[in-house]
């Protein structure tokens, strides 16, 4: 995004929160997100403020941020008069992405998760955990089994036979990528689906991304900040990054001709991937039975927000919804603040689960000769990321709480201001040895040599006092010099870098993590690659 904007200093946005997002109800917290203008307009209907439909400033994120206090008063004067359950029911009828903001206890009571049976007992007994977040032909992977004991399988593992894995190419040959020859029809939008098929494309598959000019991929709307440019819809940084190595195709699936073309294409594809609401693809007549008749070898990957069954089956959900519903948002934020969403990581999380499951289904096809129906549910992927909270409650009856930048296994840990404009040090001291090295760097002040701070338990108890002392130490010092001294002393530390500066980080540059990619409309810009390299 910084590169698309020409890297002006102003590309560094002020830190902000998404609004509307997590709002107080009469009995807790409720979460929304409005990724489209239609969802925003429907939200105004929900809170009984249709008089604001003509206010174009409030219709934009920037406008709501500018009028932050006014907007919060408008929203919260309504939400605080209604229960979470009542708000969820009303918002769902309007197809507004909505969810209760659950913690590690209340998440077990959600009707969608209960009905789908996503919580399973750990084989050791004593607590529950989420199941694996994908189903193949309605079944999950094999049930969880106890962790093997040390030496339990000694002498029982057969050596791999070389011929099963192929013969390594000679140095003169250029090996094909793993999915060379595989064709994917990618009927996904936004970020979760496209990130999944992007991984398949990176692995060598021919991926054809399907859109409609009548209803383009919603992630293109991020290009709206460049609306004064011709073809501004090509300027979305996330869209560009998630769709490299793909072909593009536009079809109107509301027309008989469009459906005819897409069916012909499915018949020639190894994968058909979609992340519409379940009812949409079925209304197009592209359900699993139809796809399987068109080509018995085609693998259909469905990525619903909440699953293909259950009372929330047809509800709309985005990454923010998953963060709110699973407990991830409950743990995010400072102790004296409300729950906060992470603003997006559940999208690529769902995408990577779906990409992994797709490779499993491909291996299954090698055995059976037939394609499978994969159900890769977004919320269940997020539950696996939130599993610590679920285990804590089901095992010990403990509800984990927000604790800012702190963690139970490190103290002190946090972000500390340094000299200059918006310069911050990230510091995490995990061992007593690191603490002793840090005290020496501080100049061994009397307070730091207190015996009560010698171990992590004592430092956790005195975290506030330690933080105050660290701020006094860092606030008038140069960030780069502090980081250099800390690293030299074996202390985990780093400067906090704006996202727009990531592509210039020397480690990432040396690793080739960003690749320059030429686009016929937006020009040449750095694109994020993947966090692995193939052995050659």
The distance from CA 142 to its chain's CA centroid, rounded to whole angstroms, is: 26
Is residue 246 within a helix (H) or strand (E), and if so which, with residue range?
Answer: strand 246-250
Q: What six digits make up the tokens of 526? A: 């750095």
Q: Tell me if 24 sits within 8 A of 76, measured CB to CB.
A: yes
pLDDT at 502: 81
Q: What is the DSSP string of 332-398?
A: SS-TTS-----SSTHHHHHHHHHHHHHHHHHHHHHHHSS--EEEE-HHHHHHHHTHHHHHHHHHH--
Q: Which single residue is written with the structure tokens 């309605």?
A: 138
With helix as H, strand as E and coil as C, how does 298-329 read? CEEEECCCCCCCCCCCCCCCCHHHHHHHHCCC
Residue 16 CB contacts under 8 Å (≥ 6 apart), including other chains: 65
Supply the Cα-derived Rg of the chain in whole angstroms. Answer: 26
Q: Which residues pair with 519 in a beta bridge?
A: 523
Q: Tell me if 328 sits within 8 A of 386, measured CB to CB.
A: yes
Q: Which residues pair with 302 in a beta bridge?
A: 274, 375
With helix as H, strand as E and coil as C, how does 397-449 read? CCCCCCCCCCECCECCEEEEECCCCCCEEEEECCCHHHHHHHHHHHCCCHHHH
pLDDT tens-digit profile, the chain (536 residues):
888 888 765 555 567 888 999 999 999 999 999 988 899 999 999 999 999 999 999 998 889 999 999 999 999 999 999 999 999 999 999 999 999 999 999 999 999 999 999 999 999 888 999 999 999 999 988 888 888 889 888 888 776 654 444 445 555 556 688 899 999 999 999 999 999 999 999 999 999 999 999 888 888 888 777 888 888 889 888 999 999 999 999 999 999 999 999 999 999 999 999 998 888 898 999 999 999 999 999 999 999 999 999 999 989 898 999 999 999 999 999 999 999 999 889 999 999 999 999 999 999 999 999 999 999 999 999 999 999 999 999 999 999 999 999 999 999 999 999 999 899 999 999 999 999 999 999 999 999 999 999 999 999 999 999 999 999 999 999 999 999 999 999 999 999 988 877 888 889 999 889 999 999 999 998 888 888 887 65
Rounded Cα–Cα distance for residues 112 and 309 (Å): 8
Rounded Cα–Cα distance for residues 217 and 190 (Å): 6
Residue 525 — φ and ψ, nearest 5°? -145, 155
**By CB neighbour count within 10 A (0-12 exposed, 13-18 middle, 19+ buried), where does 460 fall?**
middle
With helix as H, strand as E and coil as C, how does 68-98 read? HHHHHHHHHHHHCCCCHHHHHHHHHHCCCCE
Q: Tell me if 491 sits within 8 A of 437, measured CB to CB.
A: yes
Q: Which residues pair with 206 in a beta bridge?
A: 183
Is residue 257 within a helix (H) or strand (E), and if so which, with residue range?
Answer: helix 256-266
pLDDT at 173: 59
Rounded Cα–Cα distance for residues 352 and 347 (Å): 9
CA-wise closest residue to 208 among 226, 192, 225, 188: 188
Rounded Cα–Cα distance for residues 399 and 444 (Å): 38
Residue 338 — φ and ψ, nearest 5°? -80, 170
């Amino acid at each position: 995004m910084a590169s698309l904007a020409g890297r002006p200093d102003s590309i560094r946005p002020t830190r902000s929160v998404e609004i509307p997002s997590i709002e107080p109800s009469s009995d807790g917290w409720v979460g929304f997100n409005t990724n489209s203008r239609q969802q925003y307009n429907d939200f105004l209907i929900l809170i009984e403020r249709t008089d604001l439909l003509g206010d174009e400033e409030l219709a934009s994120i920037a406008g709501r941020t500018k009028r932050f206090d006014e907007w919060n008063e408008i929203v919260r004067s309504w939400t605080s008069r209604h229960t979470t359950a009542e708000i969820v029911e009303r918002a769902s009828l309007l197809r507004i992405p909505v969810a209760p903001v659950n913690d590690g206890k209340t998440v077990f009571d959600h009707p969608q998760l209960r009905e789908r049976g996503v919580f399973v007992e750990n084989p050791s007994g004593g607590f529950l955990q989420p199941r694996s977040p994908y189903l193949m032909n309605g079944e999950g992977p094999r049930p969880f089994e106890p962790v093997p004991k040390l030496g339990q399988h000694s002498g029982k593992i057969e050596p791999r036979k070389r011929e099963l894995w192929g013969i390594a190419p000679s140095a003169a040959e250029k090996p094909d990528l793993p999915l060379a020859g595989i064709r994917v029809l990618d009927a996904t939008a936004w970020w979760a689906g496209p990130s999944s098929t992007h991984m398949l494309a990176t692995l060598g598959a021919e991926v054809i991304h399907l859109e409609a000019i009548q209803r383009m991929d919603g992630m293109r709307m991020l290009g709206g900040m460049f609306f004064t440019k011709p073809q501004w819809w090509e300027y979305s940084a996330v869209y560009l990054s998630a769709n490299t190595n793909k072909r593009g195709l536009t079809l109107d699936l509301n027309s008989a001709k469009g459906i005819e073309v897409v069916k012909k294409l499915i018949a020639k594809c190894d994968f058909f991937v979609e992340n519409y609401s379940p009812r949409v693809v079925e209304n197009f007549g592209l359900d699993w039975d139809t796809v399987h008749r068109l080509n018995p070898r085609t693998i259909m990957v469905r990525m619903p927000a909440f699953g293909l069954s259950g009372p929330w089956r047809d509800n709309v959900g985005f990454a923010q919804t998953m963060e709110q519903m699973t407990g991830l948002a409950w743990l995010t934020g400072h102790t004296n603040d409300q729950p906060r969403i992470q603003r997006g990581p559940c999208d690529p999380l769902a995408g990577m689960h779906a990409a992994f499951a797709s490779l499993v289904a491909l291996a299954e096809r090698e055995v059976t000769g037939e394609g499978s129906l994969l159900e890769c549910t977004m919320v269940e992927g997020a539950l696996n990321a939130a599993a610590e909270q679920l285990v804590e409650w089901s095992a010990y009856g403990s509800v984990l709480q927000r604790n800012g930048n702190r963690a139970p296994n490190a103290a002190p840990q946090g972000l500390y201001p340094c000299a200059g404009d918006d310069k911050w040090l990230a510091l995490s001291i995990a061992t007593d040895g690191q603490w002793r090295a840090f005290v020496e760097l501080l100049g061994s002040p009397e307070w730091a040599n207190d015996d009560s701070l010698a171990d992590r338990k004592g430092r956790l108890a005195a975290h506030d006092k330690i933080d105050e002392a660290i701020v006094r130490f860092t606030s008038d010092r140069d960030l780069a010099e502090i980081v250099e001294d800390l690293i030299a002393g074996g202390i985990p530390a780093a400067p906090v870098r704006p996202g727009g500066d990531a592509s210039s980080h020397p480690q990432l540059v040396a690793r080739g993590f960003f690749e320059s990619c030429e686009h016929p409309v937006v020009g040449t810009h750095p694109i994020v690659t993947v966090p692995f390299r193939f052995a050659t």
